Amino acid sequence: MLVTQSPCSMDNPSNMLSVLEEESNVDIDDVFPPHVDTTNIIIQPESPTSKKQTLKTFKEINALLQADKLREVKLILRENAWPLNNGIRTQLWPALISQHSKGNNTMDGYYWDMVSQILGTTELPEQSIMLPPFVDSTHCLSYNLTRKGRSVADRIVSVLGYACPDITYSPSLYPITALLLHFMPEEQCYHCVQSLVASKKKMFITQTKLLYEVTWKTVEQITKKHVKSAAVHLARHCSVSRAERIYMDWIWWILQLLPFQHLVRVMDCFLHEGIKVFYRVAMAIILLFYKHSSPQTSEWMAEITKNGIDAALSKFCRQIPVTPAKFLRTAFGIRGLSSAYISRVFISIEMNLKSRNVVSGSKSLVKSRSTDTLPTSQSQMNIQMMSHTLTIREKECEDTYKDRGAHSPGPRALSMGVYPIQSIRSQILDMPELFTLWSWLPVRITMYQPILLYTTEEHGCSLTTFYVRVEKYEPTLLMIKTCNNEVFGAYCSTRWCERNLKDDKGQRQAYFGTGETFLFSLYPERAKYPWVGMDSSHNDSRVHHSAELFMAADSKMITIGGGDGQAIWMDENIRFGKTDRCSTFNNPPLCASGDFEIRVLEVYGFHGA
């Protein structure tokens, strides 16, 4: 087994002895718990920033923590690059986290009592443990955890979902839990995560969709101000909408793409200082990427030209060409980023988002009325506790396991919400297909009870009946099964009664709806077709009017998607229809022939939306 030792000064024998004592178990299998697979963990022997210093011991740092000398602790954590096979983190990380718990220590045995109550046993089950709805199912990163380790992480997060019902969206919680499990046992990890969630003085883990949006907008704003050249470089090589999407994924630059040894060093500082460390690290990534890719002859400029800046940035994070020590020096060397300043930017953005009623512009969505009656924290808890609440977990991908141990492959998708869909008795979709379809819905909508508004099997084939039963509901979900057994449909974001609205000149508007509308196909092809204005592969920063034709209806027909064709068109008898490619969704025809005969049409609404 690889053994490395950081250099120590011979001038201070007592310090050297302390370091050697702390590093005596240099066999990597002795450093990490048994639920960690050490096969792919790379040991880089790094030292303090200054070669004249020795690596600090836990005893020294803990004494400073007890004396409340937090600034000294901060500097030590930034400067001391303990190798991964140094055993200090098994004590250091819990000690750093405990300072944020404000004495709210949970009684001994509380965690195992919760496990027993929720799962019925303290033994790890063989089948997958259901994850709470706030988990981003596409980013269940497990790093170097074994299969048992991943089950332990699942159990911790599952218990946390019951203990903290106010959490509605927290994509970073699972990865942080998995990282902590590399250096501590299960029960201690649970209490540490709970302390980070409950921390009031500093933010560590965002717990709502709104606050997650605030974080990426904060990163975007402070990057444009404090590493302006790097931000301009990024913006120069992509559209405005694509640049926004790159910033939206900022947390995954750190938690998913950075090499493990870099990420652990970031966590050393994060667990003491809070989320502002992540902000600095994200800015450092942009800054270093700019320095390495701005020369026209550089390999990274060639990568941008070949694969696009977002793919180049992701590859740069994975292969970041600086040591963890230099990486952190870059992050903490960015000036003007005081905690007070970052807090002001964060609060300003949060207030702006909270006060936003309508977002205008072709690249933005009009606020849907379905957000006006979102469930309260209490009702969300009630939904979570329902026995038939489900959470989708994507199929595990072996290649992704090898990369970062992610549970789910493929491009990032919206996190699943909670939804009681087992009560649905569809004549079109079976339960696996319903699972897939519900995973594509906006998160907030999955919190509501679906109700069948209209079906040709029960209510007949009449457009008039369709309007009477459906038109007041927003949103609605249309599912079509053809006589050739093709299955497709659309999520319609706006009420169908808006077909009667008139413009300022008194003329009825042909098209209505918002960019939240999307098409889907479930058989024979399985695919989701979002509005092109939401698609990161749509290069044009401006969306033409012909690509904003979402919904249209009158007494003779229904149309979904327009521009160079109609994605779905149905006649007044809801018997015949046609499908073609359209500019709004850039979809292929949803059935092979283009023309179809309807066997069954089902329309669902959402109670309370």
Q: pLDDT tens across 581-609, in order?
A: 999 999 999 998 999 999 999 999 988 77
Confidence of residue 24 (pLDDT cuts 50, 70, 90): very low
Confidence of residue 504 (pLDDT cuts 50, 70, 90): low
Mean per-residue pLDDT over the chain, rounded: 82
**What span, in angstroms and rounded, lies between the C-alpha atoms of 321 and 593?**
52
**DSSP per-residue codes, 214-227:** HHHHHHHHHHHHHS
**What span, in angstroms and rounded, lies between the C-alpha atoms of 179 and 310?**
25
pLDDT digits (tens, 9 = 90+) for 415-463: 333 345 667 889 999 888 888 898 899 888 887 888 999 999 888 888 9
Please identify which residue in the block is written with the tokens 């053994």.
Answer: 3
Q: Which two tokens stand for residue 64?
A: 């400073």
Predicted local distance difference test score (pLDDT) of residue 151: 94
**What span, in angstroms and rounded, lies between the C-alpha atoms of 167 and 208?**
6
Averaged over 140-152, what is the pLDDT?
Answer: 94
User: Hey, what's the torsion of the CAs at 192, 194, 197, 203, to 10 degrees?
Assistant: -20
Whole-Å CA distances, 370 to 159, 238, 366, 453, 473: 30, 32, 11, 17, 9
Residue among 295, 310, 185 at smallest CA distance from 239: 310
pLDDT digits (tens, 9 = 90+) for 294-317: 999 999 999 999 999 999 999 999
Structural fold of domain 209-353: Cyclin A; domain 1 (1.10.472)
Inform me whether the pLDDT recorded for 10 exceeds 70: no
244 Cα distance to chain centroid? 15
**What span, in angstroms and rounded, lies between the C-alpha atoms of 153 and 141?**
10
Confidence of residue 48 (pLDDT cuts 50, 70, 90): low
Among 101-115, 233-247, 407-421, 545-559, the minimum mean pLDDT is found in 407-421
Inform me whether the pLDDT recorded for 92 exceeds 50: yes
Inform me whether the pLDDT recorded for 12 exceeds 60: no
Inform me whether the pLDDT recorded for 369 exceeds 90: no
Inform me whether the pLDDT recorded for 384 exceeds 70: no
Averaged over 142-150, what is the pLDDT?
Answer: 94
Averaged over 332-359, what is the pLDDT?
Answer: 82
The strand pair at 576-578 and 527-530 is best described as unpaired
Q: What percent of the chain has pLDDT over 70?
A: 79
Confidence of residue 164 (pLDDT cuts 50, 70, 90): confident
Q: What percent of the chain has pLDDT over 90?
A: 53
Per the rule left: phi > 0, alpha: psi between -120 and 50, beta: everything else, 135 is: beta
Classify the C-alpha dihedral 345-347-349-351 as positive or negative. negative
Confidence of residue 292 (pLDDT cuts 50, 70, 90): very high
Domain range list for the chain? 31-39+56-198, 209-353, 431-534+545-607
